[in-house]
Structure 1
Amino acid sequence: MKKATLKAVRLLDDDQIGIEARAGDADHQALKVWLRLLACTTQIETEIRRRLRKEFGITLARFDYLAQLHRHPDGLRMSALSRYLMVTGGNVTALTDDLEAEGLVVRETDAEDRRSFKVALTAAGRKAFEKVAQVHEGWVVELLAGLGIEQKLELHDLLGRLRVHLSQSQENQA
């Protein structure tokens, strides 16, 4: 961050930049960044959850499930879907049961592994998801409107670098 930007941020009081900014000067900068990332993620996720519930009567888990299937038009094994969503197989089964009953997904035995099931969006599921996804994208744009395009590009780049570092660290630990 440029000196002028740092100076501008310091001129704001804690109520304007968040409670996580109250970390003391003695706290490590990495801890401060982690708390800020967590606070932003939580705040955005909470608002998205609220809007999904209010506007469409769905949960974020259901939206994420449909989004994964939308990204994989040929469908996914339920085990892969569970990994992508980072939830248990039981959670995926319950969501699949509900969405299948609503006609939004179809579950079939996987032709390559008859012990597994593959799930895909139906035409109705694809149409329903795309309607919600378009509104969802608008919400995200709105929620991040406080940053200019250059700031978004810089933040995206920095977070990408962090992801690469974290992935490399995890690989080295294995």
Structure 2
Amino acid sequence: MKGPATAAADASAEAQGDVSVDVEAAADLAASPEMRLWLRLSACAVLIGARLRSRLRAEFSTTQPRFDLLCLLDRQPEGLTMGELSKRMMVTNGNVTGIVERLSADGLVTRAAASNDRRMQFVRITPEGSALAQAIMAAQRRWLTELTEGMPHGDVVQLMGLLGKLKNTVRGGGVRG
């Protein structure tokens, strides 16, 4: 049985033609502030991520993982090994291989065996790949500004500070596990 908050959120979403209800709206009114904070953070991350991915695909015909890999390489002009890319992106080696193959076919990265160990492959960004990464970074800054333009700048700065405190608390052992 749904609580009043869930039923109201569902009705509101349906009235607006949106049949998907975010996790925060589905929370029980009696949920703790900590639970509601977690749900709100999750909802914001999902909403912002979806908007950014949509714009990335529409304006640059690319995906977030491809952009992430280009950004990593753009900061490391000497290149990174496939294994290092996998660690930094927190994905499997197989995922990185697929992304690198597509970026290489598009002329955005190059792959070469390491001189001291032919089994290791170094991936480097090309000038075209760097130009694309820079263009996307500039666009992403604009998109994020657009997404938050309804908030006063002071609120954005204050929220950054509060989220920084939360991040440090969680890193410092705020979550026992």
- 2:110 alignment partner, SS class: strand
Q: CA deviation at 1:165?
A: 2.1
Quickly say closer, same or farther: Cα 1:30–1:96, change in 2 above 3 A. same
| Other-structure match for 2:60 | 56
Q: CA deviation at 1:166?
A: 2.2
Q: Runs (4+) of structure 1 moved beyond 4 Å? A: 13-16, 111-114, 170-173
| Other-structure match for 1:74 | 78
- In the alignment, structure 1 segments of 5+ residues that lack a partner are 1-12
Structure 1 residue 128 corresponds to structure 2 residue 132: yes
Quickly say closer, same or farther: Cα 1:140–1:112, change in 2 above 3 A. farther
Query: CA–CA distance in 1 between the matches of 2:155 and 2:85?
Result: 33
Query: CA–CA distance in 1 between the matches of 2:175 and 2:32?
Result: 25
| Other-structure match for 1:27 | 31
Quickly say closer, same or farther: Cα 1:69–1:170, change in 2 above 3 A. farther
Identity of aligned residues (%): 36
TM-score (norm 2): 0.79
Q: CA deviation at 1:74?
A: 2.2
TM-score (norm 1): 0.80
Give the number of the structure whose residues are more often helix, by fraction: 1
Query: CA–CA distance in 1 between the matches of 2:79 and 2:116?
Result: 13
Quickly say closer, same or farther: Cα 1:161–1:67, change in 2 above 3 A. same
| Other-structure match for 1:150 | 154
Q: CA deviation at 1:111?
A: 4.6
Deviates more, 1:29-38 or 1:110-119: 110-119
Structure 1 residue 100 corresponds to structure 2 residue 104: yes
C-alpha deviations, 1:90-132, integer Å up to 9, x for none?
1100110111121111112235655322212111111122122
Q: How many residues align?
A: 160
Q: CA deviation at 1:157?
A: 1.4
- 1:126 alignment partner, SS class: helix
Quickly say closer, same or farther: Cα 1:113–1:130, change in 2 above 3 A. same
Query: CA–CA distance in 1 between the matches of 2:55 and 2:30?
Result: 38
Query: CA–CA distance in 2 between the matches of 1:111 and 1:161?
Result: 45
C-alpha deviations, 1:33-83, integer Å up to 9, x for none?
111111111011111111111111111111111111122222222222112
Q: CA deviation at 1:169?
A: 2.1
CA contact (8 A) 1:78 1:117 kept: yes
| Other-structure match for 1:160 | 164
- 2:149 alignment partner, SS class: coil
Quickly say closer, same or farther: Cα 1:154–1:112, change in 2 above 3 A. farther
Query: CA–CA distance in 2 between the matches of 1:98 and 1:77?
Result: 16
- 1:115 alignment partner, SS class: coil
Quickly say closer, same or farther: Cα 1:170–1:36, change in 2 above 3 A. closer
CA contact (8 A) 1:67 1:129 kept: yes
